[in-house]
A and B are shown apart, each in its own frame.
Chain A
Amino acid sequence: MLSIQRPDENPCRPRHFKPPPCAPIVTDTAANLRIETCRTRMLVAAVLFVAIFAMLGLRLVEITLITGASAEPHLARAKPVLPPPERSDIVDRNGQLMATTLDSPNLYADPRQIIDARAATKALLTVLPDLDAKRVYADLTSDKKFVYLKQRLTPQQHYDVNRLGIPGLMFESGWRRYYPFGSLASHVVGYTDADNRGRTGVEHGLNSLLGEHQGPVQLSLDSRVQFVLRNELSKVVDQFSAKGAAGIIMDVHTGEVIAMVSLPDFDPNHPGAANENLPPGQVNQAFFNKVTLGDFELGSVFKIFNTAMALDSGTATLSSQFDARNNIHIGRFTISDYHGKHRMLSVPEIFMYSSNLGSARMAVAAGTWRQQDFLARLGILEKPANFQLDEIATPHYPHGKAWSEISTMTIAYGHGIAVSPLECVTGVAAIVNGGILHPATLLKVAPDVQPPGVRVISSKTSEQMRKLMRLVVEYGTAKFAAAPGYVVGGKTGTAEKNKHGHYEETTLVSTFIGAFPMTDPRYVILALVDEPHGDKQTHGFATAGWTVAPATSRIISRIAPLLGIAPVDESSPAVTQALQVESLAGKRIEDY
């Protein structure tokens, strides 16, 4: 350390003079350095603070003055209130709710908090009478921390239990699907599992759409029409002690399915209940949607396609005659008529009297390739694409070379080919609506939207087919299907079921497919009954003309006013002339 000369040690200074106090001049460089470091640090800290405060100040100005009005979003962040975990509702074409998600809490208890288990059990049983008193009491007196008392409370039960005010009873929120219409449209709407994922029906087929929170999904179904169809079909099932029934009603101009019923059905609110009384391992028929998943040999209903094919390809005209005198023996098969006329029959007669022989000869005259081509054009040989249900049957028919002449003959009258009623209806809709095939859909088509469609037959063939179908109801096999005023036309089909490789006469599938009003068809209806048994009222008959045709008549009379179809006078010249088959004009038509 250097010795420094202090100012007061100046020898020359006056004695009374004291220099002003001042910092000692530090010459120590290390000390200097340390002080410098401190100064710098303080400066940095000060700058930092100034910067932070300036930022805060600016932010304050910004929030209060600049974005004052839109400060709301910051508030929303304060405490989030979660919206319910939503799955879109399903509504019918009139906006009636068919499926919705509701909070349905589970009731649980913490037994340690229950003061008087006996009183609590008693009180609980007053509002939830279906609880087992013994079990509840045992649960409430156990030393567990958590016991479920009841799952899926209804809003009313929730309220009632809450009102009891018993400490120790608690609710666990749970979102569940409800189906207010119960089993009305169980196969169309379907149901969900415990995690609200669709299992069947539209719930499954449109699972992703339902999860998109885009408001309710509107189906093409009309719940009123659906009710009528289901109601009448269940009467048929009861009357003929049948195994089941299926029905579908479709708008011919849009392909919208207005109603779709398959019996037996189930309650989607309790899908498990349908399986409870079944022996283990057996699949419940109630979950089987006959309309889309059922493969049926629909029988004579196919004569609609066969006749349309022959007329459209020009291999037959309405005045062509075909031989229906003798049974056809081909290979080990014999083709015969149910009510044979044993004479030459014209095309309208073949159709009206449902002659298998005539139809087979008509198909042979047209040729196998025309038949294949025609059915393929109608989409009958493939699964319908883009349909909203995943429960879709693959049609069964002979592939490749297996489609022999015998196949051609049997397919002409609906044997040897099995399709779902849905496909059949889609095809028939195209045949009666003027020849445009619209794919079937379960979603409502807005009134101003032109649904996609392809022409499959000429409008002239379509008109001829309408006349022929009207003939069947007027004079043929489906007289009971007539609904006065609504000009019903259609075709019956009674097929024997192929069980274990051979046809059984006693197990039938009776089908009627019709359209109305025949002057300008708007709806196609199919009613099918599975294994009906004739009763006294029908003289033991279980054929379509006796089973489903009368039901169709009742259905049409009930739904036509709902669908806005005005009745007409069927005997008025305007109607009769429009549906007159020229080749039969002036002839006396023999009754079936």
Chain B
Amino acid sequence: MSRINAIFWLGLAMTACVVMFMINYAVQSLQDDLNKVRKQTIAEQLEIRVLHAEWSYLTQPERLAQLNQKFLSLTPIATKQLQQKIAQIPLRPIPDPPVEEIAAAAPIPALAAGRELPAANASEQGLDALFAQASGQAQPEPGAPPVTTIALDAPASPPALPVTTAALTTTIPARSASPQPTLPVTPALPVTPALPVTKVALTTMARPAAATARPGLDALFAQVASER
């Protein structure tokens, strides 16, 4: 009995020894790992410091000025470039409308009794909303001439209308000519302050993706094209 006892305790002691040493070595290797990670962290931190210094060195104003002189030739902002209000920005001059196309679009003034859009908010409402609005109204009404829907959005300012139609007539043939229409010529956009809504209507057309997505507009364009 006492022998078994002795063997048991001896075994226990030896197991304890082995376990203890194993733990000890495990701890040591963990410590080594930890120290390694610590050293690495410090090395990385130093590297970051170097990078910070380098960034500062490379972005020092003097160097940027030299680079600018070499590659960009940008000049300091002039006073007239710093305008604070929309009203201070001069408008792009309107190109002279081509005369014969105005004549071709003669029936349109009769449709001027359109509904007025909140023109002043055009930029704030977001173009998307306006697209939706434009396309919603662009649903072809049976019997009504298809151009009407676009003209509906135009405010009731008769002298401005010829410009709208001129722009329309220049864009539409381009669209009917090829299935992938080229973007309408930008200078044709009337930028008269009186006409922001017209501009919106045209912008809708200027987006072929938006236009093709809406069968209503497509049908309208096709109709206009076939009429000509």
List the interface of chain A (C-beta within 8 A of B): 75, 78-79, 81, 83-84, 96-98, 100-103, 155, 178, 180-182, 184, 223-224, 226-228, 231, 484-486, 557-558, 561, 566-567
* A contact residues around B27 at 8 Å (CB): 75
Nearest B residue to A79, CB-CB: B35
Q: Are A184 and B50 in contact (CB under 8 A)?
A: no
Q: Are B39 and A81 in contact (CB under 8 A)?
A: yes
B52 within 8 A of A: yes
Contacts known (A155-B50, A224-B61, A561-B76); A79 close to B56, Cβ less than 8 A? no
Q: Are B56 and A567 in contact (CB under 8 A)?
A: no
Q: Are A181 and B82 in contact (CB under 8 A)?
A: no
Q: Are A81 and B82 in contact (CB under 8 A)?
A: no
* B contact residues around A79 at 8 Å (CB): 31, 35
- A-contact 0/1 string along B57-94, CB 8 Å cutoff: 10111100100000000001111001010000000000
Contacts known (A96-B59, A485-B79, A567-B82); A84 close to B42, Cβ less than 8 A? yes
**Cross-chain pairs A/B with CB under 8 angstroms, 30 sampled:** A75-B30, A75-B34, A78-B31, A79-B35, A81-B38, A84-B42, A84-B45, A96-B56, A97-B52, A97-B53, A97-B56, A98-B56, A102-B46, A102-B50, A103-B46, A180-B53, A180-B56, A180-B60, A182-B60, A182-B62, A184-B62, A223-B60, A224-B61, A226-B61, A227-B61, A227-B65, A485-B82, A557-B78, A558-B76, A567-B79
* B contact residues around A180 at 8 Å (CB): 53-54, 56-57, 60
How far is B26's CA from A75's CA once the two chains are assembled, in angstroms? 13
* B contact residues around A98 at 8 Å (CB): 56
Q: Are B82 and A561 in contact (CB under 8 A)?
A: yes
Q: Are A75 and B53 in contact (CB under 8 A)?
A: no
Is the contact region of chain B dominated by helix, strand, or loop, or is it mixed?
helix
How far is B61's CA from A96's CA once the two chains are assembled, in angstroms? 11
Q: Are B49 and A100 in contact (CB under 8 A)?
A: yes
* B contact residues around A567 at 8 Å (CB): 79, 82
A to B contact number (C-beta, < 8 Å): 74
One of A78, A102, A557 near B53 (C-beta < 8 A):
A102
* A contact residues around B30 at 8 Å (CB): 75
List the interface of chain B (C-beta within 8 A of A): 27, 30-31, 34-35, 38-39, 42, 45-46, 49-50, 52-57, 59-62, 65, 76-79, 82, 84
B67 CB to nearest chain A CB (Å): 13
Q: Are A566 and B82 in contact (CB under 8 A)?
A: yes
Q: Are B56 and A181 in contact (CB under 8 A)?
A: yes
How far is B41's CA from A81's CA once the two chains are assembled, in angstroms? 11
How far is B77's CA from A561's CA once the two chains are assembled, in angstroms? 7
* A contact residues around B49 at 8 Å (CB): 100-102
Nearest A residue to B59, CB-CB: A96
Q: Are A100 and B61 in contact (CB under 8 A)?
A: no
* A contact residues around B38 at 8 Å (CB): 81
* A contact residues around B84 at 8 Å (CB): 566
Contacts known (A103-B46, A178-B53, A561-B77); A227 close to B62, Cβ less than 8 A? yes
Closest 3 CB pairs of A and B: A227-B61, A485-B79, A180-B56
* B contact residues around A102 at 8 Å (CB): 46, 49-50, 53
A428 CB to nearest chain B CB (Å): 24
